[in-house]
Structure 1
Amino acid sequence: MKHPLPAHPEHLCVLRLSALGDVCNLVPTVRALQRQWPGVRITWIIGKGEHSLLAGLSGVEFVVYDKATGLAGMRAIWRQLRETRFDALLHMQQAVRASVLSLGLKARVRIGYDPARAKDKQHWFVQRHLAPHPRAHVLDSFMDFARLLGVQDSSLTWDLPIPEAAVGEARRLTGEAPYLLISPCSSARLRNFRNWSAEGFAAVIDHAWHQYGLKTVLTGSDTPQEREMAEQIRRLCQDEVLIDAIGATSLKGLLALIDRARVVVAPDSGPVHMANALDTPVVGLFATTNPERAGPYRWRDSVVNRYPEAVRTYLNKDPEALEWGQRVRHPDAMSLIRAEDVIARLDALLSEPRNEA
Structure 2
Amino acid sequence: MKHPLPARPRHIAILRLSALGDVCNLVPTVRALQRQWPEARITWIIGKAEHSLLAGLSGVEFIVYDKATGLAGMRAIWRELSDRRFDVLLHMQQALRASVLSLGIKAEVRVGYDKARSKDAQHWFIHRQLAPHPRAHVVESFLDFARLLGVEDLSLEWNLPIPESAVQEAREIAGTGRYLVISPCSSLRVRNFRNWSAEGYAAVIEHAWAQHGIATVLTGGGSTQEREMGERIQALSRPEAVHDAIGKSSLKGLLALIDGAEAVIAPDSGPVHMGNALGTPVVGLYATSNLDRTGPYHWRAQTVNRYPEAVRTYLHKEPEQLAWGQRVRHPDAMSLIRTEDVIDRLEAVLLARDAHGAQTETPDEA
Query: Fold match, TM over 0.5?
Result: yes
Q: In the alignment, which residue of structure 1 is the partner of 2:283?
A: 283
SS at match of 2:155: coil
SS at match of 2:24: helix
Q: In the alignment, which residue of structure 2 is the partner of 1:122?
A: 122
Q: Counterparts of 1:70 and 1:52 in 2: how far apart (Å)?
A: 19
Whether 1:91 aligns to 2:94 is: no
Letter in 1 for 2:61: E
Q: Counterparts of 2:16 and 2:77 in 1: how far apart (Å)?
A: 14
Q: After superposing the two structures, state which structure 1 stretch, 116-125 or 60-69, moved more.
A: 116-125
Q: In the alignment, which residue of structure 1 is the partner of 2:334?
A: 334
SS at match of 2:200: helix
Q: Counterparts of 1:338 and 1:247 in 2: how far apart (Å)?
A: 27
SS at match of 2:159: coil
Q: In the alignment, which residue of structure 2 is the partner of 1:9?
A: 9
Q: In the alignment, which residue of structure 2 is the partner of 1:37?
A: 37
Q: Where in structure 1 are there 5+ consecutive unaligned residues? A: none
Q: Counterparts of 2:72 and 2:277 in 1: how far apart (Å)?
A: 33
Q: Counterparts of 1:347 and 1:165 in 2: how far apart (Å)?
A: 32
Letter in 2 for 1:29: T
Letter in 2 for 1:172: E
Whether 1:317 aligns to 2:312 is: no
Q: In the alignment, which residue of structure 1 is the partner of 2:213?
A: 213
Letter in 2 for 1:331: P
Deviation at 1:356, TM superposition (A): 5.3
Letter in 2 for 1:112: G
Q: Counterparts of 1:234 and 1:60 in 2: how far apart (Å)?
A: 40
SS at match of 1:169: helix
Deviation at 1:355, TM superposition (A): 3.1
Q: In the alignment, which residue of structure 2 is the partner of 1:107?
A: 107
Between the two proteins, what is the percent identity of the paired residues? 74
Q: In the alignment, which residue of structure 2 is the partner of 1:259?
A: 259
SS at match of 1:106: coil
Deviation at 1:219, TM superposition (A): 0.6
Letter in 1 for 2:211: Q
Q: In the alignment, which residue of structure 1 is the partner of 2:364?
A: none
Whether 1:295 aligns to 2:334 is: no
Q: Counterparts of 1:123 and 1:352 in 2: how far apart (Å)?
A: 46
Letter in 1 for 2:62: F
SS at match of 1:220: coil
Quote the RMSD (CA, aligned, Å).
0.7
Q: Where in structure 2 are there 5+ consecutive unaligned residues? A: 361-366
Q: In the alignment, which residue of structure 2 is the partner of 1:147?
A: 147
Q: In the alignment, which residue of structure 2 is the partner of 1:349?
A: 349
Could you list the structure 1 runs, at least 4 aligned residues long, displaced by more than 4 angstroms after superposition: none
Whether 1:242 aligns to 2:242 is: yes
Q: In the alignment, which residue of structure 2 is the partner of 1:306?
A: 306
Q: In the alignment, which residue of structure 2 is the partner of 1:134?
A: 134
Letter in 1 for 2:290: N
Q: Counterparts of 2:284 and 2:174 in 1: how far apart (Å)?
A: 23
Q: Counterparts of 1:355 and 1:215 in 2: how far apart (Å)?
A: 17
Conserved 8 A contact 2:279-2:359: no
Alpha-carbon displacement from aligned partner over 1:79-134 (angstroms, at most 9, x marks no partner): 00011000000000000000000011100000000011101111221110000000
Q: In the alignment, which residue of structure 1 is the partner of 2:170?
A: 170
Letter in 1 for 2:312: R
Q: Counterparts of 1:159 and 1:97 in 2: how far apart (Å)?
A: 29
TM-score (norm 1): 0.99
Alpha-carbon displacement from aligned partner over 1:152-180 (angstroms, at most 9, x marks no partner): 11000000000000000000111211101
SS at match of 1:17: coil
Q: Counterparts of 2:359 and 2:210 in 1: how far apart (Å)?
A: 24
TM-score (norm 2): 0.97
Letter in 2 for 1:96: L
Alpha-carbon displacement from aligned partner over 1:179-203 (angstroms, at most 9, x marks no partner): 0110000011110000000010011
Q: In the alignment, which residue of structure 2 is the partner of 1:26?
A: 26
